[in-house]
Amino acid sequence: MDENFWKDAYQDTWERSSSREKWLMDYLEKVAGVKCQESGLGAGSSNYISGSAARNGRQKGDADFVVEGTNIYVEVTGPLVESVQSSDPLWFRPDKLNNAIKNATHEVFLAHHCMSADLWRVIHVDQEFKQRFRAYGFKVVTPNIRGLKERYVEIETNDRCVRKLDDLVAYIKRAKEM
């Protein structure tokens, strides 16, 4: 497959995606009193970066940013359309989950934004989450989006791993105190 295939398919969403990443970084800096630094390929940017993550010195599925002075990394995701409701399951790209799970040195949080309700939810990719994922504890769905068959891991909104954004803030504050 062309290594720019998905980039080309979603290029019109990069501005909204970048804006959402920057919003969350600014929010965490304000309420948790930390600094955040972009870390993933293209994070915080709407510029077209041709080629694979590896060709650009990154790893496929790297988190979008790191909370400086900690080992906390945050991947920002979620639908960039108003049609998805806050009661709909959360979808995550498998490569993002696999990268978060295999990285033993980072604490990774998935920050899922639902535009229709301007609602942020987070998942801490902790040991329990990793075990459930490895044991196929989450459903995999293959919807057609924009005429393209995609693959996502689906997590119900009421799953015990889904938390409020305040839980991420509290975790960062505790990590900062250590």
57 to 40, 62, 72, 75: CA distances (angstroms):
10, 11, 21, 18
Query: In the predicted model, what is the mean pLDDT of residues 19-47?
Result: 84
pLDDT in tens, 94-138: 988 998 998 878 899 999 999 999 999 999 999 999 999 999 999
pLDDT tops 70 at residue 12: no
Count CA within 13 A, CB hemisphere, residue 129: 21
Residues sharing a CB contact under 8 Å with residue 11, sequence separation 6 or more, in sequence order: 48
Instruction: Please report the pLDDT score of residue 69 as a whole number.
Output: 93
CATH of segment(s) 5-177: 3.40.1350.10
Q: Tokens at residue 6, please? A: 């998905």
Q: If we measure between CA atoms, which residue out of 72, 22, 13, 73 comes closest to residue 43?
A: 22
Q: What is the DSSP string of 90-120?
A: EEE-HHHHHHHHH-TT-EEEEEEEEGGGTEE
Q: If we measure between CA atoms, which residue out of 57, 52, 55, 76 comes closest to residue 66?
A: 76
User: How many CB atoms are closer than 10 A to CB 146?
Assistant: 8
160, 123 Cβ separation under 8 angstroms: no
pLDDT tops 70 at residue 1: no
Instruction: Please report the pLDDT score of residue 175 as a whole number.
Output: 92
Instruction: Please report the pLDDT score of residue 55 as a whole number.
Output: 53
pLDDT in tens, 51-89: 555 555 556 557 889 999 999 999 999 987 888 999 999
Instruction: Please report the pLDDT score of residue 5 as a whole number.
Output: 55
Instruction: Please report the pLDDT score of residue 63 as a whole number.
Output: 84
Instruction: Please report the pLDDT score of residue 82 as a whole number.
Output: 87
Taking the C-alpha atoms of residue 161 and residue 134, their distance in angstroms, rounded to an integer, is 15
Instruction: Please report the pLDDT score of residue 72 as a whole number.
Output: 96
157, 147 Cβ separation under 8 angstroms: no
C-alpha 150, offset from chain centre: 17
Instruction: Please report the pLDDT score of residue 17 as a whole number.
Output: 80
2, 29 Cβ separation under 8 angstroms: no
Token look-up 């990394």 returns 73
More confident residue, 29 or 149: 29
Instruction: Please report the pLDDT score of residue 51 as a whole number.
Output: 56
18 pLDDT band, cuts 50/70/90, is confident
